[in-house]
Amino acid sequence: MLHSTTFAIPCIKTNSLDILDRYKKEYITLSQALESRERLSKSLNNCREPEFLKVAFEGYLSLLPELGKVLEKFQDNSKTNIQYQWQSTLSSSGKFFSDSFFAFEVAMALTAYATLKLCLAEQNFVSEEEQEINQVSRYLCEAAGIFEYLQDNILPECIIQASIPTPPDIHPNAAAFMNRLALGLAQEKVIHKAQLRCSSEMTLLKLCNAAVQMFTQALAKVSSIQGCEPVTSTILKFAEFHLLLSKAMSCFYLGKVSDMKMEHGLKVACLRYCCEILQKQQIQKLLGKFSFTKLTCSQRALSIEAYQLYQLYQKQNSTVYHEREPDWSTIVYESERLLVKSIPFMLLDNSRTTISQRLQNLRIQEPKEQAVSREKPHSIETQREEDKRKSKNSRNRRVFELCTE
């Protein structure tokens, strides 16, 4: 369950590109980008509605590829450094981070845009309407796609050039963490829709196992985030809560499947473990970290139903079947069934060049030009020597042919 305090959309400073104002007349694209970024900054700082922010973000992101072209020309003709300033999305410090390379601007803007998708998903996350459930799932998969694009194309470039201190927003493993978290939340909506459609316990079990897998992978990525500010504990606890809840649901449906298979000892063990998870002091502490509404009710309803089933199954086994409860570590889980995936995201300019290629050109252009300038005088001399050698070889060949005749 998303909550407004869990994912906060960051702010940006309006004067971070003022240094380029004198190029407005020369580059129309730059003028539009500056105006669009200023509009986005004011919208963020004034906490406008998510739908309004979405329009502002999309207006600025559509200009980023062309802006990269302009900055290439700007860096060729100027030695002035541009400072991009953003507030971190994933850090709890609340301070602004700044850097002078364009990949930082792209990474921070896309991270904030993906966070906005999560906030849009929050609005109808608890809805029972299938159409709204589908829309929430789409927002979450779109966010996952943006984080995947960042991880594969933009953030490796940022890590190379980033200065200290570094926000977690530009760390590839942080993007991988957010990607798995968004997919896990989207899988929860698939489970919710399957419950509304009264799907079989086996289907629900496989769906729950896939959600457990996603949240487990997300938390595993956090331990690999090094060399930057730590990810805020609120998001980590949020992911941990959903992992525990998914595990409890998985145990619940595994118990019901075991009942159908007449595995009476196993069904008692599953329901016992489900109740233990839902009544853990750990999950109760996590509940206190968020302002839950329907999720709290769902967790309580699951806890009540699991406890009632546990008592029934235990009574049946103790009076009729007398099967031994297996050790939990020896239980084999059913295969998972992941029904969500990242929606691909790409930033392209008019020439169909990806912005990641543009960023690489920005970084390697200056060293490459220096190397060419060093090699240029030698290339002329080398060409002359090569021409002389070819001419000499040609004369020797003609002499040899005459002598042969």
Please say whether the beta carbons of 166 and 226 come within 8 A: no
Where is pLDDT greater, at 223 or 1?
A: 223
The residue with tokens 């930033």 is 347
Q: What is the percentage of the chain residues whose pLDDT exceeds 90? A: 29
Confidence band, pLDDT 50/70/90 cuts, at residue 19: very low
Provide the CA 166 distance to its chain's centre, in angstroms: 17
Beta-sheet pairing, 84-87 with 96-99: antiparallel
CB atoms within 10 A of CB 209: 22
Please say whether the beta carbons of 355 and 348 come within 8 A: yes
Per-residue pLDDT tens over the stretch 267-309: 999 999 998 888 776 666 666 555 444 455 667 778 888 889 9
HSE-CB of 369 using CA atoms within 13 angstroms: 8
Phi, psi (degrees; rounded to nearest 5) at 325: -75, 125
pLDDT at 129 (0 to 100): 87
Give the pair of three-digit tokens for residue 7: 């994912």
pLDDT at 229 (0 to 100): 84
Rounded average pLDDT over 63-70: 75
Burial class (CB in 10 A: 0-12, 13-18, 19+), 304: exposed
Phi, psi (degrees; rounded to nearest 5) at 96: -90, 140
Per-residue pLDDT tens over the stretch 26-36: 556 667 777 88
DSSP assigned state of 64: H
Per-residue pLDDT tens over the stretch 116-130: 898 888 877 777 888
Stated pTM of the model: 0.79
Query: With the C-alpha atoms ordered 360, 367, 60, 28, is the resulting torsion angle positive or negative?
Result: negative
**Rounded to whole angstroms, how far apart are CA atoms 226 and 159?**
11
The residue with tokens 């769906």 is 207
pLDDT at 219 (0 to 100): 94
pLDDT at 220 (0 to 100): 94
pLDDT at 258 (0 to 100): 92
How far from 344 is each of 7, 23, 143, 245, CA to CA, in Å?
22, 34, 10, 28
Confidence band, pLDDT 50/70/90 cuts, at residue 56: confident
DSSP 77-122: H--PPP-EEEE-SS-SS--EEEESSHHHHHHHHHHHHHHHHHHHHH
Nearest to 8 by CA among 50, 54, 58: 50
Taking 80 as the threshold, does the pLDDT of residue 21 lie above it? no
pLDDT at 155 (0 to 100): 87
Where is pLDDT greater, at 49 or 118?
A: 118
Q: Which of helix, strand or coil describes residue 171?
A: coil
HSE-CB of 59 using CA atoms within 13 angstroms: 17
